[in-house]
Structure 1
Amino acid sequence: MPLRDFLTPDEPLGPIRHERILRRRAYDQQDEDPVNLLIYQAEPFDLALHDLHPIILGRRGSGKTAIVAAMLAGSGRKHYFYGRDDAINDNHDIYVFIQSWDHLDEIVNLVGIDCYHSLGSQPMWDDLLPETAARFWARHLWQAIFNQIFRDASSESNPIDYRSKLPLVFKFIEGRDIIDPRESITSETLQKAFELTRDSVLKYLSATKRRCFVIIDSLDLYPITSPRFSRILAGLLRCITNFSDSYDRVKIYCCVPEEVEPHLFTHVANETRDLSPATSYSRLHWKPVDLLKIVAERFREFLKIHLAEDQNFIADISKLNFSHRDNLMTFYGAVMPKYVTNKYGQKEDSVAYLVRHSQLLPRELILLFSRAISISHQETASWRTITSSAIVKAVDESESALARQILRPYMPVYKELIIACEHVLSELPTICTLSELHSVGKRMRKSVSMETDDPWRTLYEIGVLGFIDPDESNRNTQYYEYGLFHFNSHNKIRFANHLRYCVHPLFSGTWHLKRAPGMKFIYPSKIEESYWD
């Protein structure tokens, strides 16, 4: 697919969903496959992909599915499906993708049935141990591997004769001759047949120096309040770490939304042992500079296509290496003004203005810049630069949609809390004291008592509420106070009289919080001393 078809006047920076780019070729006439052409060597993405930790944690929009799509590219499959994918692999390695809700839910149900029977005559899901659920998960994931081998064998393009090399797999799937006729069919004999089949796959992988990958990317539709689901999924996390220790050539990778992390990790027996960040998971956190590189690379490619007549300008920006801070700053200085005047009449650095109206997710910065580019073109009939007014208008038009994106994963669980925010938080100033929180706290708790005992802590976990970083209190800036939110600080929120609290700019703007004259604006703390570094 030509790059021109990705970078259009309607979508100047291309698709927000990165996996669409990763899974499709940018050039029809060449063999070159520029996987990272529009995802410009982003450090969080590359680290998560190359560290190969089995659990990939990140919020919706952080790039988890893009990592899965990169793994999918290695499988040799030609397409990426959001529905259930029964496509075969063309690669010699074995890839099993559980990338749709119905596929995962089918396995959850099978594991759940096994767990249910293991709990005895009066099953209570709260009594289910992660070790028990992990054991059942292992069996059903091996079954998924057997099924994939069976499907791969049906492909005419697959050069491997799996039927002759792995006959036990086909006997197991087809249910033929898996039990010695002299033996009774019991759970023990069936388990023995399963173990022999599993061991035959392990021996094959070892002898041929091939690998098997099981990749799970379907946890976004999570019923996290269900004890059954949360207990069973906690068993999956234990199973994943067990697989990493038990099998050198079989690996499981699971994308876990940060939104569900607290609900799952509380059921892990020993979080320190089972979920070490050094060995168990990668967390996708983005710095502004990584996001600005992605935007710059995409915008430059767009300009090469749609501003081809300005050869001198194209030649100048083509020389820039966005891995160098000075080059990145030069590009932004060439395509947008240094400052904007925000809707409150105050002057701000234009890049900082866009960055602070995000929670540092790729889709947010791409959407904001893309909208600003389009509005600027409507104003000037030129793609050459982005105007100050277009930047402010893009933020004003986009912040409600971005706020809804952040809140959407939480709506099934905290619907009343989110509805209450619009009415209750609007009575607060953007930056407030603990006593001001207390002044509306009683009414907030009354509205949401069935969903959460502590709405302020829940809003912190969602990314709505934060607190002013006390370590930055001596940092005297003209425009900003520095806020700690869940997305830029994994410390728990503290409530004390000496601290001040804040609402993220996306929500303070969407819900029209009070703003006193001269009040400073909220900028995420500890993301970097400068957003260029």
Structure 2
Amino acid sequence: MDLAKDRHTELSDQNGLKRVLTPQQPFGPIVTEDVMNLGRSNAGQLFDRNNRVYAQSVSDSPPTYIIGRKGAGKTAFLIGSDVAHDQPQIVLTTEDVYHEMLKVFHEYGRDHELFVGHRADLWQALFDHVALFHACRSFDSNDPQESLHVLTSYLGNSAENGMNETLAATRFLRELRKNISDTRSTGFRDVIDNVTLGRTRFADARAALRIVLGRRERPPIIVMDNLEDLHLRLPELRPVLAGLFRCVGRMISANPGNRPYGVQICLPSELWDLIHDIAAAPEKDLQGRYLTIYWTARELLRLTGTRLHLFLRTRHPDQLELLQRRADGNDETDPSIALLRAALPPRIHSGLDIDEDPLAYLLRHTQLLPRHLIQILNSVFSRHDRGSAPWNVTPVAIIAGTRHAERLLVPGILSAYKATFPKAAEALQRLTGRLEISFPARKLHKVYNQQGIRKLTDLDFDEFLSMLFTLGALGIRFDQTGRYNKAHFQYTFDYPLVAQEESDHLCFHPLFTRYLMERSLPQLRARQAHATYPYGCDPRGEDYRGTFGYLDS
């Protein structure tokens, strides 16, 4: 064993982690792309592979579409799944590709009408080119040399070092746009077939590509991540997405077993209804296997507990050793969760003066999303209220840190649904101070009428209530204890919640309680109001996904 080399690797990993896990963000950035910018090895250490969704994402039949809410970790699952089975993965920078593809559409559309099938052909050409570039860069001795020579002859100097898959994709699209500009009288197929970067036509290189990749043991997967601001860009990107979906639908039908290559697309569940509208023929275009990301409380705790261990190991190794000894004394079976619990006080008093388990309190203020819990824990563990430290967090730091994170999380939720519910924020503000934390559904209807919400949103009451369920702002109470209203929220279900107006009680989610009731919290505390306990956030609770049959065993 080369001990010097191992020590160098360990130091390199620690230096990388120090850039990711900082005193201001002990649990790392909330956005996976920010981690990836600091190196793939750092991202690999932070990515959690000990959960059921990951197991599904790397199965022998990988999903075509990974669906999840903003902050669910869609990018992390896309990036992290390349470890399994040594599956070659080609990750494209989505915004760059969309931008160049849109310019191709505009160029061709000056003189010709582009139908969705034509847009799909352009996407197919792009994917073939990217796969071709990958095949040439990853050649091995088993590749048929004659076919490989055709690929290199087509690519010319574009296969040189320094060119990655995204640059190769955008260069191809620019060349395609130039072909359109130079040969406006040429037929559509000829424009694509005659792209030439070296000495060989694209049409000939495509044929050679199928021979080369057909011999490979594991076909590559081309990955298109979600755009963080897709909800803002949806109108202009409709033709790009319609062509993409038609192309993927064709590939699923024509390429069983992902031969010669597969594709994997990441899409936000907040826009799923709009995406169905964009697809020209959803039953054909949106084919393939779907994987919707649902997290459990224990998976989120394990993920963040692992990050706390990495942060302390990198920056405070002596404190980590002391904290681990403390963790050995609690009754948590998972060592990562035990470490996280050991850093927190045994109990806290919430804003409603309820005596609580701190882990339950933190989880209650999430919608079971990694981004939410990481944002809250970064805020909590970076505070120094009354001597708080990342290995000895004080109760006041938990309350103040959670309150600070709420002010960032709620606007993020509303922003994610901006395309679907443009007036959601204004409509919610009209509820401010007019309802309790839990109230009869019929009372919401009364406030809806009094506050002119129909005129503001153009939504009837049932549609308005559906919007609040979709946002996760409201849930339906199913039980009550001495301290809590237990409620179902739509983010734990794969079907819409429906409330009975005359019999059901509704509850505001803890994230939205302060957002809507900041000024009335003292009165709520004095009246000993019950806090909301969302279903699924119990630190020791069951895996609701198995109960509801969302995931395979």
TM range (shorter): 0.7 to 0.9
Q: Assess, with a 3 A threshold, how the Cα gap between structure 1 residues 103 and 407 changes in structure 2: closer, same or farther.
A: same
Partners of 1:68 and 1:9 lie apart in 2 by: 28
Q: Corresponding residue for 2:24?
A: 10
Q: Is the 8 A contact 2:300 2:370 kept in 1?
A: yes
Q: Is the 8 A contact 2:123 2:243 kept in 1?
A: no
Q: Assess, with a 3 A threshold, how the Cα gap between structure 1 residues 12 and 195 changes in structure 2: closer, same or farther.
A: same
Residue among 351, 355, 371 paired with 2:359:
351
Instruction: Report the Cα offset of residue 391 of structure 1.
Output: 0.8
Q: Assess, with a 3 A threshold, how the Cα gap between structure 1 residues 148 and 398 changes in structure 2: closer, same or farther.
A: same
**Aligned residue runs from structure 1 range 48-197, under 5 A:** 49-51=57-59, 52-70=62-80, 95=90, 97-100=92-95, 102-108=96-102, 110=104, 133=116, 135-148=117-130, 164-166=149-151, 169-170=154-155, 186-187=187-188, 197=205
Partners of 2:127 and 2:402 lie apart in 1 by: 47
Q: Corresponding residue for 1:455?
A: 464
Q: Assess, with a 3 A threshold, how the Cα gap between structure 1 residues 115 and 518 changes in structure 2: closer, same or farther.
A: farther
**Aligned residue runs from structure 1 range 340-489, under 5 A:** 340-375=348-383, 377-380=384-387, 382-411=389-418, 414-442=421-449, 443-449=452-458, 454-468=463-477, 472-473=478-479, 477-489=481-493
Aligned partner of residue 368 in structure 2, secondary structure: coil
Partners of 2:330 and 2:106 lie apart in 1 by: 52
Q: Corresponding residue for 1:509?
A: 514
Q: Assess, with a 3 A threshold, how the Cα gap between structure 1 residues 7 and 321 changes in structure 2: closer, same or farther.
A: farther
Q: Assess, with a 3 A threshold, how the Cα gap between structure 1 residues 234 and 348 changes in structure 2: closer, same or farther.
A: farther
Partners of 1:311 and 1:430 lie apart in 2 by: 40
**Number of residue-to-residue matches in the alignment:** 482
Aligned partner of residue 255 in structure 1, secondary structure: strand
Q: Assess, with a 3 A threshold, how the Cα gap between structure 1 residues 72 and 447 changes in structure 2: closer, same or farther.
A: same
Aligned partner of residue 481 in structure 2, secondary structure: coil
Instruction: Report the Cα offset of residue 156 of structure 1.
Output: 12
Q: Is the 8 A contact 2:242 2:278 kept in 1?
A: yes
Partners of 1:489 and 1:415 lie apart in 2 by: 23
Instruction: Report the Cα offset of residue 243 of structure 1.
Output: 1.4
Partners of 1:170 and 1:158 lie apart in 2 by: 17
Instruction: Report the Cα offset of residue 96 of structure 1.
Output: 5.7
Q: Is the 8 A contact 1:320 1:328 kept in 2?
A: no
Which stretch shifts more, 236-245 or 358-367? 236-245
Cα distance per residue 1:206-250 (max 9 Å; x no partner): 134463432212443336897775576355334324313322222
Q: Corresponding residue for 2:165?
A: none
Aligned partner of residue 37 in structure 1, secondary structure: helix
Cα distance per residue 1:242-288 (max 9 Å; x no partner): 31332222211111011111111245577677657xx5211111111
Q: Is the 8 A contact 2:429 2:516 kept in 1?
A: yes
Partners of 2:135 and 2:279 lie apart in 1 by: 38
AA aligned to 2:126 is A
Residue among 263, 273, 294 paired with 1:262:
273
Q: Assess, with a 3 A threshold, how the Cα gap between structure 1 residues 490 and 259 changes in structure 2: closer, same or farther.
A: same
Which stretch shifts more, 506-515 or 248-257? 506-515
Q: Corresponding residue for 1:123?
A: none
Q: Corresponding residue for 2:251?
A: 243
Partners of 1:530 and 1:117 lie apart in 2 by: 63
Aligned partner of residue 67 in structure 2, secondary structure: strand
Partners of 2:337 and 2:155 lie apart in 1 by: 59
Q: Corresponding residue for 1:88?
A: none
Q: Assess, with a 3 A threshold, how the Cα gap between structure 1 residues 386 and 246 changes in structure 2: closer, same or farther.
A: same
Q: Corresponding residue for 1:285?
A: 294
Q: Is the 8 A contact 1:300 1:317 kept in 2?
A: no
Partners of 1:379 and 1:16 lie apart in 2 by: 26
Cα distance per residue 1:59-101 (max 9 Å; x no partner): 1111112234336899xxxxxxxxxxxxxxxx9968361421x
Q: Is the 8 A contact 2:93 2:224 kept in 1?
A: yes
Aligned partner of residue 427 in structure 1, secondary structure: coil
Q: Assess, with a 3 A threshold, how the Cα gap between structure 1 residues 271 and 531 changes in structure 2: closer, same or farther.
A: farther
- Unpaired runs of 5+ residues, structure 2, are 1-11, 157-170, 180-184, 195-201, 544-553
- Unpaired runs of 5+ residues, structure 1, are 27-32, 75-90, 121-131, 179-183
Q: Is the 8 A contact 2:359 2:539 kept in 1?
A: no
Instruction: Report the Cα offset of residue 332 of structure 1.
Output: 3.9
Q: Assess, with a 3 A threshold, how the Cα gap between structure 1 residues 482 and 295 changes in structure 2: closer, same or farther.
A: same
Determine whether 1:294 maps to 2:303.
yes
Q: Assess, with a 3 A threshold, how the Cα gap between structure 1 residues 157 and 20 changes in structure 2: closer, same or farther.
A: farther
Aligned partner of residue 45 in structure 2, secondary structure: coil
Partners of 1:318 and 1:434 lie apart in 2 by: 44
AA aligned to 1:340 is I
Q: Is the 8 A contact 1:417 1:447 kept in 2?
A: no
Q: Is the 8 A contact 1:225 1:413 kept in 2?
A: no
Partners of 1:198 and 1:373 lie apart in 2 by: 54
Q: Corresponding residue for 2:9?
A: none
Q: Assess, with a 3 A threshold, how the Cα gap between structure 1 residues 223 and 306 changes in structure 2: closer, same or farther.
A: closer
Q: Assess, with a 3 A threshold, how the Cα gap between structure 1 residues 449 and 236 changes in structure 2: closer, same or farther.
A: same
Q: Is the 8 A contact 2:414 2:424 kept in 1?
A: no
Aligned partner of residue 436 in structure 2, secondary structure: coil
Partners of 2:30 and 2:254 lie apart in 1 by: 38
AA aligned to 1:254 is I
Query: Normalising by the residue count of structure 2, what TM-score does the alignment of the two structures yield?
Result: 0.73
Partners of 2:514 and 2:28 lie apart in 1 by: 27
Aligned partner of residue 507 in structure 1, secondary structure: helix
Q: Is the 8 A contact 1:364 1:402 kept in 2?
A: yes
Q: Assess, with a 3 A threshold, how the Cα gap between structure 1 residues 37 and 317 changes in structure 2: closer, same or farther.
A: farther
Residue among 253, 278, 293 paired with 2:264:
253
Aligned partner of residue 56 in structure 1, secondary structure: strand
